[in-house]
């Protein structure tokens, strides 16, 4: 079956950054074609495993059986907990965030805010962003079934920007002036704080393949890990990978 060049599929968080990398790479190498596809981290891992995609994208760590796949970290991304800019609360502890998402705390007034119900927003079940949030913040606790589910970072951001009572979590790189990123335990959500480790919420962006990549796929991954590729990602708001070489 004729293939249309390199197929990259998976996490919607990683997707825009992969698209930027691909665009740059294709300008440098006009004979190569790269197609980027969404679908979510779980779908990306599955696509890499089954071979429908050459590269799978994931925005969370691999678990269990997935670890047998070849993977490399191409960047790190902070996870920001966001609220409406008008929300008087600017700082919460990790426990408080967990309580909000578990619905043990359901009113802003219990945290020093106005007397109104908290509108909890989460990502969908197969999202890497959600999985990362669950493992870093929720631990054993479950996200409340009453939480509103949205299927992309942008949709979550849009919702929080419109609703003064909403709280959500998105890629740190996507935070803009329409929303406010909370400080967690007094630590501001900035790239620097992720790099120096004081802001704990961060997750890896992974490129995954069924086996050690070769040929065009390998060259594209090498480009991603090169100084040029990493600089591109840094300009877009990501944190350079600590893992400069493949496994």
Partner 1 sequence: MKSLKEKISESVFLLIALSALSALALITVFIFIEGVPIIAKVGVVNFVFGMKWAPSQGAFGIFPMIIGSVSVTLGAAVLGVPVALCCSIFLAEFAPATLSNLVRPAIQLLAGIPSVVYGFWGLVFIVPAIRNYLGGPGLSILAGSVILAIMILPTVISISEVSLLALPRLYKEGAFALGATHWQTIRSVLMPAAKSGIVAAIILGIGRAIGETMAVIMVLGNAVALPQSILDPARTLTTNIGIEMGYASGEHQEALFATGIVLLIIIMILNAIAQYAARRR
Partner 2 sequence: MRVSARSTQMIAKIVIWSAALLVIVLLLAIMIYILLKGVPTLNWQFLSEIPRDMGRSGGILSTVVGTLLVTAVAIVVATPLGVGTAFYLTEYTREGRVTRIIRFSAESLAGIPSIVYGLFGFIFFVIYLKLGWSILSGGLTLAVMILPTIIRTSEEAIRTVPSLYREVSFSLGGTKWQTITRAVIPSALPGIAIGIILGIGRCVAETAAVILTAGSALRMPISLFSPARTMAVHFYILAREGISMERAYGTAAILIILILLVNVVANMLVNRFVARGR
Q: Which residues in this chain contact partner 2 in the complex, by CB under 8 A?
A: 1-4, 7, 9, 16, 19-20, 23, 33-39, 50, 52, 151-155, 157-158
C-beta closer to partner 1: residue 38 or 213: 38
Classified as helix, coil or strand, 82 is strand
In sequence order, which residues have a C-beta less than 8 Å from that of residue 226 and are 6 or more positions away?
none
- Which helix (H) or strand (E) segment holds residue 149: the answer is strand 148-150
- Quote the least distance from Cβ 105 to partner 1, whole Å: 17
Restricted to residues 122-141, the positions that interact with partner 1 (CB under 8 A) are 124-127
The residues that bridge with 240 in the sheet, in sequence order, are 75
**61 contacts partner 1 (rule: CB under 8 A):** no
Measured between alpha carbons, how far is 178 from 108 in angstroms, rounded to an integer? 20
C-beta closer to partner 2: residue 2 or 65: 2
**46 contacts partner 1 (rule: CB under 8 A):** yes
**19: partner contacted, choices partner 1, partner 2, none (Cβ within 5-8 A by kind):** partner 2
Phi/psi zone of residue 202: left (φ > 0), alpha (ψ -120 to 50 degrees), beta?
Answer: beta
How many residues bind partner 1 (CB under 8 A)? The answer is 26
Among 40, 6, 21, 14, which residue's Cα sits nearest to residue 225? 21
**67: partner contacted, choices partner 2, partner 1, none (Cβ within 5-8 A by kind):** none
**213 contacts partner 1 (rule: CB under 8 A):** no
Cβ pair 241, 230 in contact under 8 A: yes
C-beta closer to partner 2: residue 16 or 185: 16
Interstrand relation of 119-123 and 148-150 (parallel, antiparallel or unpaired): parallel
**106 contacts partner 1 (rule: CB under 8 A):** no
In sequence order, which residues have a C-beta less than 8 Å from that of residue 70 and are 6 or more positions away?
208, 209, 210, 211, 212, 213, 246, 247
Cβ pair 240, 234 in contact under 8 A: yes
**222: partner contacted, choices partner 1, partner 2, none (Cβ within 5-8 A by kind):** none
Among 191, 193, 192, 157, which residue's Cα sits nearest to residue 177? 157
Q: Annotate each residue in 146-165 with x if it binds partner 1 (CB under 8 A) or - if it does not, as one string.
A: xxxxxx-------x--xx-x
**3: partner contacted, choices partner 1, partner 2, none (Cβ within 5-8 A by kind):** partner 2
C-beta closer to partner 2: residue 23 or 228: 23
| Interface positions with partner 1 (CB under 8 A) | 38-43, 46, 119, 124-127, 142, 144-151, 159, 162-163, 165-166
């Amino acid at each position: 079956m004729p293939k249309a060049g390199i197929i990259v599929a998976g996490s919607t968080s990683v997707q825009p950054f992969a698209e930027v990398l691909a665009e740059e790479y294709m300008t440098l190498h006009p004979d190569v074609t790269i197609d980027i596809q969404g679908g979510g981290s779980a779908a990306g891992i599955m696509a890499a495993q089954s071979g429908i995609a050459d590269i799978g994208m994931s925005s969370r760590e691999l678990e269990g059986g997935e670890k047998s796949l070849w993977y490399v970290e191409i960047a790190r991304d902070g996870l920001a907990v966001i609220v409406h800019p008008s929300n008087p609360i600017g700082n919460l502890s990790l426990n408080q965030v967990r309580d909000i998402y578990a619905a043990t705390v359901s009113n802003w007034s219990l945290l020093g805010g106005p007397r109104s119900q908290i509108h909890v927003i989460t990502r969908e079940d197969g999202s890497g962003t959600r999985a990362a949030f669950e493992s870093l913040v929720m631990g054993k606790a479950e996200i409340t079934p009453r939480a509103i589910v949205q299927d992309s970072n942008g949709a979550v951001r849009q919702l929080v920007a419109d609703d003064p009572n909403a709280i959500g979590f998105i890629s740190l790189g996507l935070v803009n002036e329409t929303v406010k990123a909370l400080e967690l335990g007094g630590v501001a959500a900035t790239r620097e704080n992720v790099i120096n480790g004081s802001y704990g919420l961060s997750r890896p962006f992974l490129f995954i393949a069924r086996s050690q990549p070769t040929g065009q796929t390998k060259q594209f991954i090498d480009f991603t890990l090169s100084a040029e590729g990493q600089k591109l990602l840094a300009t877009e708001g990501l944190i350079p990978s600590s893992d400069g070489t493949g496994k």
